[in-house]
């Protein structure tokens, strides 16, 4: 693997020892700064993007906490601000540049402030070149492949107070046992694989997250058991395409087998997974879901387009018809399942006819909800090179029509549990403090009167009012 700048001489140590040593070094620096300032140092980690990034941020927070920082949500109060970035669409990038402008102002008031950037955007050379040149506010940059070197980079920046940039072009290793600070006590994501080999023609993820690598099932199950022992009830298994789990390993465990083992772990009450690609969704997976009550009755199955022609150009490896037959199979095996999807509008070459195919697929499936995206051109992807880009006004107009269709079918579908008593995992207090909020197995939110002592427990709730994509209810 290639590195653009190297930082530390700790060869000969195991990754675990190296991490521990670097955290100790960072902690020494934090103690010295704490003594000078006469108060504890605070850090804020701000996450953009998907569940994978959210899980990475829990590791970043774990490292910062082990080094002696106090975690805060307030960037105003923080001595160290770290943005864990996403680059899946152009607006994600723009958002980060906008925030960097604000941080430039903040740093004028507080010159000691340290600003770090990591995550997917940092794996794009043109982004890093722009930040190097135009954003002197940024002190630290690292990428997705070397997240585990963060302790070393943190120690270095605290010690030397000079800009630190370390980026790797790729990695074939997986470093286990980083410290983690979970956002929720009762639920956790668990990475089962990293990277993506699918190269959908519009998507930047394979370029910024690298080639697919699966974790050993023994490591995953040990993590799940440890989380269960620590009070976790709900596990979300994470990967860009969980159906390819294990293909890079010789152990022979498939995703459905792994999912079954996780669901059978003592103490785990709910298991979810994200994301499943339609091209290699097996009958075995559907059987495992049907036969394990603890696997949540929710399937997120991104379709992207309802037109077989566009799906071909997207390099998705399935057709409208094969997608629809998968939906039929899933519904036949698990009738209570809720179905959600991702859809892109305005992929290059999309005609009104192709778009009509997407609209009719949305109506035919009746998704509970759908994440809809305007196609965004990503530098380096094959679709960005195409000359038949859809004009923005045409794409926007289609997007509005799609939203209306999703709202109509989604409201009808997700209100079908009205009047039932369903188990709710209580997650948090609502903005209205008299209400608690949680989710049913189908991943639909329910708000109901209650108090904070319910957080983390699974309670039967009577669903008394449907609001379209969520419910109001009462403890049963
Ligand atoms: N690995 C997941 C998706 C990860 S990205 C999967 O294949 O299902 C999440 C979603 O972002 C994708 O499903 C897609 O709908 C959307 N997306 C990805 N690249 C995009 C682009 N260039 N423009 C618009 N939406 C995009
Ligand atoms: Fe992107 Fe496709 Fe990989 Fe999902 S499967 S991350 S959409 S390339
Ligand atoms: Fe964004 Fe990276 Fe996830 S590009 S969607 S944070 S894998």
464 C-alpha to center of ligand 3: Å? 37
Question: Do residues 271 and 234 touch, judged by C-beta distance below 8 A?
Answer: yes
Ligand 3 lined by 383 (C-beta under 6 Å)? no
Ligand 1 lined by 442 (C-beta under 6 Å)? no
241 C-alpha to center of ligand 2: Å? 7
3-class DSSP state of 14: coil
Ligand 3 lined by 122 (C-beta under 6 Å)? no
Could you tell me which of 114, 207, 218 has the C-alpha nearest to residue 158?
Answer: 114
Mean pLDDT of 412-431: 95
Mean pLDDT of 301-315: 98
In which band, very low, low, confident or very high, does the pLDDT at 175 lie, cut at 50, 70 and 90? confident
Higher pLDDT, 13 or 425: 425
In which band, very low, low, confident or very high, does the pLDDT at 11 lie, cut at 50, 70 and 90? low
User: What local confidence, expressed as pLDDT, does residue 149 receive?
Assistant: 93
User: What local confidence, expressed as pLDDT, does residue 248 receive?
Assistant: 86
DSSP state of 403: H
Higher pLDDT, 20 or 225: 225
Q: In the predicted model, is pLDDT for residue 5 greater than 50?
A: no
Tell me the per-residue pLDDT of 83-106, one tens digit each, with 9 for 90 and over: 999 999 999 999 999 999 999 999
Ligand 3 lined by 88 (C-beta under 6 Å)? yes
**Domains in the chain, please, with CATH?**
2-168 (3.40.50.280), 187-414 (3.80.30.20), 418-475 (2.40.50.140)
Ligand 2 lined by 240 (C-beta under 6 Å)? yes
Percent of the chain residues topping a pLDDT of 70: 98
In terms of pTM, does the model score above 0.75? yes
Mean pLDDT of 218-228: 97
Pinpoint the alpha helices (H) of 334-379.
352-365
Tell me the per-residue pLDDT of 338-362, one tens digit each, with 9 for 90 and over: 999 999 999 999 999 999 999 999 9
Q: What is the mean pLDDT of the chain?
A: 95
81 C-alpha to center of ligand 2: Å? 29
87 C-alpha to center of ligand 1: Å? 11
CA 475, CA 462: separation in Å to the nearest integer?
A: 6
Longest dimension (CA), the chain: 67
Tell me the per-residue pLDDT of 201-221, one tens digit each, with 9 for 90 and over: 999 999 999 999 999 999 999
26 C-alpha to center of ligand 2: Å? 36
Pinpoint the alpha helices (H) of 211-319.
217-229, 255-263, 283-291, 308-313
Written as six digits, the tokens of 464 are 């008394």
């Amino acid at each position: 693997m290639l590195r653009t700048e190297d930082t530390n001489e700790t060869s000969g140590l195991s990754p675990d020892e190296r991490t521990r040593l670097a955290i100790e070094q960072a902690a020494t620096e934090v103690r010295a700064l704490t003594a000078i300032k006469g108060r504890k140092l605070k850090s804020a980690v701000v996450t953009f993007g998907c569940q994978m990034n959210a899980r990475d941020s829990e590791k970043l927070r774990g490292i910062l906490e082990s080094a002696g920082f106090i975690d805060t949500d307030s960037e105003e109060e923080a001595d160290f601000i770290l943005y864990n970035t996403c680059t899946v669409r152009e607006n994600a990038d723009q958002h980060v540049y906008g925030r960097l402008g604000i941080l430039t102002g903040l740093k004028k008031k507080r010159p000691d402030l340290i600003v770090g950037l990591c995550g997917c955007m940092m794996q794009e050379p043109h982004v890093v070149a722009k930040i190097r040149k135009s954003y002197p506010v940024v002190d630290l940059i690292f990428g997705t492949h070397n997240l585990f070197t963060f302790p070393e980079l943190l120690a270095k920046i605290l010690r030397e107070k000079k800009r630190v940039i370390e980026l790797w072009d790729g990695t074939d290793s997986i470093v286990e046992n980083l410290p983690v600070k979970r956002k929720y006590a009762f639920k956790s994501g668990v990475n089962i694989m990293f990277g993506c080999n699918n190269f959908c023609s519009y998507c930047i993820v394979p370029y910024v997250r690298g080639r697919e690598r699966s974790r050993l099932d023994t490591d995953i199950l040990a993590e799940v058991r440890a989380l269960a022992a620590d009070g976790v009830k709900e596990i979300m298994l994470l990967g860009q395409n969980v159906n390819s789990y294990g293909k890079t390993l010789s152990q022979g465990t498939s995703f459905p087998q792994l999912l079954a083992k996780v669901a059978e772990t003592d103490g785990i009450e709910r298991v979810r997974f994200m994301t499943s690609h339609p091209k290699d969704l097996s009958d075995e997976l559907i059987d495992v879901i049907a036969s394990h009550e603890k696997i949540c009755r929710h399937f997120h199955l991104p379709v992207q387009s309802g037109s077989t022609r566009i799906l071909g150009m997207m390099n998705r490896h399935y057709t409208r018809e094969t997608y629809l037959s998968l939906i039929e199979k899933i519904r036949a095996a698990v009738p209570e399942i809720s179905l959600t999807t991702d859809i892109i509008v305005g992929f290059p070459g999309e005609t009104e006819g192709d778009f009509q195919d997407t609209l009719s697929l949305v109506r035919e499936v009746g998704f509970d909800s759908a994440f809809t995206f305007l196609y965004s051109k990503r530098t380096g992807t094959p679709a960005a090179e195409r000359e038949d880009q859809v004009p923005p006004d045409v794409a926007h107009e289609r997007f509005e029509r799609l939203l209306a269709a999703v709202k109509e079918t989604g409201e009808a579908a997700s209100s079908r549990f009205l009047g039932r008593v369903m188990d709710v995992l209580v997650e948090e207090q609502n903005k209205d403090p008299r209400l608690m909020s949680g989710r049913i197995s189908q991943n639909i939110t329910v708000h109901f009167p209650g108090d904070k002592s319910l957080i983390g427990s699974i309670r039967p709730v009577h669903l008394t009012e449907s609001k379209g994509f969520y419910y109001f209810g009462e403890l049963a």
